[in-house]
Structure 1
Amino acid sequence: MKPQQYANTFPQPAEAFTLDFAPHLGMFRESAGEDPLEQLRFMADAGFRSFEDNGMGNRPVAQQEAMARLMAERDMRMGVFVAHTIYWDRPNLASGDLALREEFLGEIRAAVAVAQRVNARWMTVVPGHLDLRQDMGHQTAHVVESLRRAADILEPHNLTMVLEPLNFRNHPGMFLSGSAQAYEICRAVNSPACKILFDIYHQQIQEGNLIPNIEACWDEIAYFQIGDNPGRKEPTTGEINYSNVFKYIAGRGYEGILGMEHGNSQEGISGEKAVIEAYRAVDP
């Protein structure tokens, strides 16, 4: 296929970023067009070495396979996809309901096939809503038991579910909200298949104190996601000092993926260029 003649003016291909930032589909559609494969090519040409897609599991198998082939051709890694149904408004894993647990485990089994198809290592897990009729200790025990059983499914395939704490403002009432809570749960599950997805945007809102909290959780963190606050847009648009946060992460020798789970602060091609320029500015 003839290479896409992109509308931007960045050199093609650009030098790779130091940290392994991972855009998502739609972030560069004005420059690359609607075709997911062309968007992937654009990402690679712009210097990105990975890609993430929350909805990968819902894409047709043929599209998953085509995207996996292109990522292999361009030496790109697949980041996270969401592994299961997230219960936003009622409890599931925290409830201890055995039918809901089995539903979750069935979706984890299905996610293994998706991960193998697209060469993914990590998948996002959100334990769902609080069960306000139960003590927090009982809820935690229920969640840990479900995650232990999920880890038994994932470990033989060298796959890792990453638990994502969500902030109280965007997602009120969720069981998992803080980094220390996620750390405690991962320690209790005690499996390489259960680690933390530290979303810097969520944790700036939830608890702040970013670098010390990252340091305290370091041994259990397997994945980061990015978004500035306020606004959940690219770095340099809000209050988070991403230059220093990324310098710390790089200084610890982190070789994993940092997912760009945010919107663009400006519209159009100029806004997409601004995203790339922002990441160039904060890349250590």
Structure 2
Amino acid sequence: MSTRDLGLPEQVVPPKGELPSRVTIWEVGPRDGLQNEKSVVPVAVKLEFLDRLAAAGLTTLEATSFVHPKWVPQLADAEELLADLTQRDGVRYPVLVPNARGLDRALAAGVGHIAVFASATETFAQRNLNSTLDEQFAMFEPVITRARAEGLEVRGYLSMCFGDPWEGAVPAAQVARAGTRLLELGCSELSLGDTIGVATAGQVERLLDTFTENGVGVGSLAVHFHDTYGQALTNTLAALRRGVSTVDSSAGGLGGCPYAESATGNLATEDLVWLLDGLGVGHGVDLDALVATSAWMAEQLGRPSPSRVVRALGG
């Protein structure tokens, strides 16, 4: 099945081995980063964080999640946050929704872009979604269908794409099948998550090639790396050389996964920007402003930023 068959826009991607001329940075710090904090960050701090990130030139800011407060109390203030958020022109503020109730809350808040969070493995689907690998798609289908009918853009996150702490290495063909099903349900973009940070560049290349062989173009794919083994930047470069042009990252390297204890922080946005600058790939972000933002947030959290670039440039 091709990208055209899935109803997705055709995108021109560079030949294998060449870099895209520009990369979209999907900033997940306000949601994926702050959801892992032991204490709840005040709404006022979250709002300033979002505004500073937008001022630094980031145009996609994943603002929050409508997951049940019992499971992620750090994001229990989603409605309040969005009600008080001053949205900048040209900036998207997607939110994560876990189910139909989450979509109800997102629609009531007037959001224009949502994301759903699926699993590539049986065990994580059971532990995170209380569902089997196959049953999760039946759960997501009405959410995606209704969201699209309401005019919302829908992104699909696919977790455990390279390794699972209970199942070990995950076959590329299994990931491609799960990811393709999300695209067929109506997701316009699929983010491939290295949830526990075990991927290698070779695995990244093989997985992206597997999607291509199954008719899904890289223009529909994004990557989401964690840095457990220090490979997030290497894996990002491998994805860029396969034509991927959307990369998830978190300002200051915040985040992990509340349902996978071995997961460390996300790829730091500053480290990604430093890499892209060195490659001559456009991104539109002011690195100095971004570093200052992450240094400020580190002060709010009371600990140093894990980003190497923030530590190097932020003093």
TM-score category (smaller protein): 0.5 to 0.7
Q: Which residue of 1 aligns with 2:23?
A: 19
Q: Which residue of 1 aligns with 2:158?
A: 164
Deviation at 1:64? 0.9
Aligned length: 218
AA aligned opposite 2:226: G
User: What is the TM-score when the length of structure 2 is the normalising length?
Assistant: 0.51
AA aligned opposite 1:50: T
Return the alpha-carbon distance in structure 1 between the equivalents of residues 113 and 82 of structure 2: 11
Q: CA RMSD in A?
A: 4.5
Q: SS state of the match for residue 223, structure 2?
A: strand
5+ residue gaps, structure 1: 1-16, 29-33, 85-103, 266-270
Q: Which residue of 1 aligns with 2:49?
A: 39
Per-residue CA shift, 1:171-192, capped at 9, x if unaligned? 4369x95553243235456322
Q: Which residue of 2 aligns with 1:95?
A: none
Return the alpha-carbon distance in structure 1 between the equivalents of residues 45 and 209 of structure 2: 39
Q: SS state of the match for residue 35, structure 1?
A: helix
Contact 2:192 2:224 (8 Å CA) reproduced? yes
Q: SS state of the match for residue 196, structure 1?
A: strand
5+ residue gaps, structure 2: 1-20, 35-43, 68-75, 255-267, 282-315
Contact 2:157 2:190 (8 Å CA) reproduced? yes
Deviation at 1:50? 1.7
User: What is the TM-score when the length of structure 1 is the normalising length?
Assistant: 0.56
Contact 2:25 2:249 (8 Å CA) reproduced? yes
Per-residue CA shift, 1:121-161, capped at 9, x if unaligned? 4333448863999xxxx944433333333333333134325
Return the alpha-carbon distance in structure 2 between the equivalents of residues 66 and 283 of structure 1: 37
Relative contact order, CA 8 A, sep 6+: which one is greater? 2
AA aligned opposite 2:159: P
Aligned pair in 2 of structure 1 residues 142, 206: CA closer, same or farther (>3 Å)? Answer: farther
Q: Map of 1:152-231 to 2, 5 A cutoff?
A: 152-157=145-150, 158-166=152-160, 171-172=165-166, 179-188=172-181, 190-193=184-187, 196-200=190-194, 205=199, 208-217=202-211, 219=216, 221-231=220-230
Contact 2:208 2:242 (8 Å CA) reproduced? no
Query: Percent same amino acid at aligned positions?
Result: 9
Q: Which residue of 1 aligns with 2:248?
A: 259
Contact 2:119 2:158 (8 Å CA) reproduced? yes
Q: Which residue of 1 aligns with 2:305?
A: none
Q: Map of 1:1-284 to 2, 5 A cutoff?
A: 18-23=22-27, 24-25=29-30, 35-53=45-63, 55=65, 58-67=76-85, 69-70=86-87, 72-73=88-89, 75-79=90-94, 81-84=95-98, 104-114=99-109, 117-126=110-119, 130=123, 139-157=132-150, 158-166=152-160, 171-172=165-166, 179-188=172-181, 190-193=184-187, 196-200=190-194, 205=199, 208-217=202-211, 219=216, 221-231=220-230, 235=233, 240-250=234-244, 254=245, 257-261=246-250, 264=253, 276-281=273-278, 284=281
Deviation at 1:204? 5.1
